[in-house]
Amino acid sequence: MAGENENEPLINVQEDSSERGTPPPPSLPAAQLPSIPTEGFPPPMGGPPPIMPGEQPPPYSAMPAGGMPMINCRVCQSMINLEGKLHQHVVKCSVCQEATPIKEAPVGKKYVRCPCNCLLICKATSRRIACPRQNCKRIITLNSPANLPLGTTVVSTFSGCRAVCGHCNETFTCPRSSCLVRCPYCRKVSSVGAAYARNRSLIYAIVGFLFLVAGVAVTVGTVVADASTGGIYFIWIGAYVVGLLNLIRAMYYATMKVSHLEGSQE
């Protein structure tokens, strides 16, 4: 009896099933038994069917609205939806209407953001560019390296005065309110403000007349000198040449076009 009791299972399946109130699992032939035991528990009602060996997983379904790719606008920090736009290099914010880069610039190019928030793309070797917006027209000096991380834009710290070109009447930015500038549109040189050109013209005219007077005085004072002194002729020629060059420079400034500061009454 002791040996028979030892060979019997500790828990009878039929008794255990009757205690639980559930019918015992049906007995299947050995060839039809699944490779993974189910332990007699049916799949939960309403849940997904179990994945049997050799079956493919269910098809992937996209996440609802909460899983859409988003990015912060670089100008106003608003959220921009990138759904359907991941193939683009830049996206436009619907709040501030400014562009934000989402990919690296093309090879040989770089992004530059003007102080007016306009996003520009230019050559990687560019050092100065002009903003195309009609209400800006700022000349931007680039001091940053060409290799920038993704999404990084260069913001120029260049500040100056806005002037109207005396040749083509275009508006551009100059570093100071009184200087010589070259218009980025017509590439011609003009004076910002009439005072700068007038003062330069006066200075060169005075210097030119002084050299001419000195040349005449040296000529008159040495005309009776020994003609064998050849160096005296170089002094005459030098004084006259320097005087004439200064007078020509004075005429250049006197006839130079003047670019007026924007809003000035000059």
Half-sphere exposure of 172 (CA within 13 A, CB side): 26
Helix, strand or coil, per DSSP, at residue 2: helix
Helices 231-254 and 194-222 sit at what angle, rounded to 10 degrees?
A: 160
Is the distance from CB of 102 to CB of 71 less than 8 angstroms?
yes
CA distance 218 to 51: 112
User: Is 122 one of the annotated active-site residues of the chain?
Assistant: yes
Helix, strand or coil, per DSSP, at residue 218: helix
Is the distance from CB of 258 to CB of 190 less than 8 angstroms?
yes
CA distance 101 to 94: 14
Task: Name the CA radius of gyration of the chain, rounded.
Answer: 44
CA distance 139 to 164: 13
Catalytic residue, candidates 73, 93, 122, 161? 122
CB atoms within 10 A of CB 31: 5
Name the residues annotated as catalytic: 122
